[in-house]
Structure 1
Amino acid sequence: MSIYDKRDPRFRGLIHPNAQLRQIGAGFEWTEGPVWFPAAQMLLFSDIPAHRMMRWTAQTGCSIFREDSGYSNGNTRDGQGRLVTCHHGLRAVTRTEHDGTLTTLANQGAGQRLNSPNDVVVSRDGSIWFTDPTYGIMSDLEGYKATPEQPGSYVWRIPAEGGAAQPVITDFTQPNGLCFSPDERLLYVAESGSSHDAAIPPVIRAYEMTAEGPANGRDFATVDAGLPDGIRCDAQGNIWSSAADGVHVFAPDGTLLGKILVPQVVSNLCFGGPRGNRLFITATTGLYTIAVNASAAQP
């Protein structure tokens, strides 16, 4: 059976027909937050319920990168090559410095503890954007059960120069993955509220970036299997989204181009590898990879 579900002729330009989907890691509890570090030729990702972060390299396979991870979830890399991480357990966003020490970038907003930071992206100006749904405080599985202190689940921004995080989008039920278009004129955010309320549509929303912040939000695309979790934008402006049946690829106009079918529910993905054209996929208990004809919008 083919691993591809082709919906639009443009999809053929983004895949290699003979490429194989390979499982390169197994036996985890719930994988999330993949991020590629070119300098080390290394992938880092979270195993949330196991309370640890993992490392993968082509030479050594999977190994433990960090124990007692604070129930880490989403990860990204900043402009100086430092790891930026969202933690359910710490209810914080941190940065791992080059000497290995952790700097807390945000753990509250408007004087109240954050919910459970989920996913994160760094813009070219150095500001840090993250989502803060309540998944990590709903139970003790992926964090510590607690009553939310924030009035809602927001998208937040930490200024490039540092300082207090500010809410920039406040009309989501459960904001999840997020990414910028290549020119950073658009911010895409996944709505995953259907995980607990079937009335919430499983959509990716697009916001215009203005001098005052994100504006004019609109539904960009709907995921037709499960819900959107982690999302990434490639250099051509296509959106690659996690879904229940694999990775869905949407054109900049919102058209579903096709799917890469994965045997487990996909949580997140990123581009990486020596040439930047390999897709790494975190999916339930496994880690997968496949060669594609695309690369990250912000390598």
Structure 2
Amino acid sequence: MANRTLLIDADVLAYQAASALETAIEWEPGFWTWHVEFDAVWQRVDTMVEDIKEKLDADKVVLCLTDPKANFRLDVLPTYKTHRKTTKKPLILFHLKEWLIENRDAVMRPGLEGDDVMGILATRGSGEKIIVSIDKDMKTIPCNYVRTKAVVDADGAELVGAFDILKISEEEADEFHMLQTLMGDVTDGYGGCPGIGATIAEKIVKDRLKKVPYQHELKRGPRKGETETRYKEVECDDLWEAVVSHYAAAGLGEEEALRQARVARILRSSDYDFKNKEVILWTPAT
């Protein structure tokens, strides 16, 4: 198929290849080191990329990487992904990514994650583009999307098994963004709205359920005759209004809802100032 470009999450491929080929060696009793052959690692990445390209009948591949030095989301939410700093990374991961930029034209942009690079490229320009990633967050992008998983071939090489192409509309992407805003993502270090998990969040988004406060008079017990604030759910047309109402019911305001929404949103081309190379933080439509 002509003009089909794959936007591949190279962070995942680099991590998989670099970690899979590390070997622990005991040089003498009690003395261990990690060993890895760099050439074998980049060749593994090339094999994985070619496997994806062949399965999806693509003409071009763009490898997308995360900036390891800065992340605009930390300016929005300082705790974003901070729990990952103590996680051991593969020995040559950083050097592998540098090699991919220099030798495979991988794309990295200051302050952006690889997900953002894919989102921006997928929503800009012409031609068919497909995001290839293991991350469900790509559903916040109106795009063609293939979610992958690692598989192992007969020689033990980790290839990437591609599934069907999902076509995500702008409405579906916007709804998934609000779903993420409500339920958060503990693996990425943002909590969403307290007390709301996936099931409740899905119902709120699907039915546009807004929480409305009312005063309830207690009919019995030691507090008989007193009133307290309770909430009932009603349908509304504005999804953002519905989301904010749940944050308000949890004792938080729109400011916190907006902070979570900005962290949850994977950038689209409309969220990026190409001239000044700056992120345009998401603001709900008025």
If each structure's helix is expressed as a fraction of its own residues, which one has the higher value? 2
Answer whether TM exceeds 0.5 for this pair: no
Per the normalisation by structure 1, the TM-score is: 0.24
User: Which protein is bigger by CA-based radius of gyration?
Assistant: 2
Per the normalisation by structure 2, the TM-score is: 0.24
If each structure's strand is expressed as a fraction of its own residues, which one has the higher value? 1
